[in-house]
């Protein structure tokens, strides 16, 4: 699947900035991960393109982008990374996703990502794969098309 080629860290930086702009101050690594996953899935569903070069993996608390996880764990912020100038249509998708999902806390987002029928649930519970396994883009795209974008 074609990628837009963004680095996952610059997208996380944008998410952090938009959350602060929207006064969603309860940011932690889990919430950043879930918002990045929601952005990734929404862009896949709407544009049929991968948002970033990094693929999400199924970790214990849901989908995770390991590079972003490690960076945030060490630095606690992305403020040293400048967000990119996104294409207008991509920026609109990201803003919509952050404004909708950003009001939920990390626990709620993690629970949502584990729901039956979700790509994470399929990889870990139905296929019995180990934590750290890749979550297939096709599964993410289908899920977001039917359960997120349509609603």
Give residue-wise pLDDT tens across range 82-115.
988 999 999 999 999 999 999 999 999 999 999 9
136-143 contacts, C-beta under 8 A, 24 or more apart: 137/1, 137/44, 137/50, 137/55, 140/40, 140/41, 140/44, 140/56, 141/41, 141/44, 141/45, 141/48, 143/41, 143/117, 143/118, 143/119
The tally of domains found in the chain comes to 1
Range of the domain at 47: 3-149
Instruction: Give the pLDDT confidence of 114-150 residue by residue, as tens digits.
Output: 999 999 999 998 888 999 999 999 999 999 999 887 6
Q: Per-residue pLDDT averaged across 46-75, rounded?
A: 97
The model carries a pTM of 0.96
Q: What is the mean pLDDT of the chain?
A: 95
């Amino acid at each position: 699947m074609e990628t837009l080629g963004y680095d996952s860290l610059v997208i996380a930086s944008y998410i952090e900035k938009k959350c602060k702009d929207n006064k969603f101050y309860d940011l932690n690594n889990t919430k950043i991960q879930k918002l990045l996953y929601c952005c990734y899935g929404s862009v896949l569903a709407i544009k049929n393109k991968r948002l970033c070069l990094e693929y999400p993996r199924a970790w214990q608390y849901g989908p995770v982008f390991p590079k972003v996880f490690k960076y945030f764990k060490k630095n606690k912020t992305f403020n040293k990374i400048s967000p990119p100038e996104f294409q207008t249509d991509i920026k609109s998708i990201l803003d919509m996703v952050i404004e909708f999902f950003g009001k939920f806390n990390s626990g709620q987002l993690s629970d949502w990502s584990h729901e039956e029928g979700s790509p994470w649930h399929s990889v870990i519970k139905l296929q019995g794969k180990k934590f750290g396994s890749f979550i297939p883009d096709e599964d993410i795209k289908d899920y977001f098309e039917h359960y997120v974008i349509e609603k």
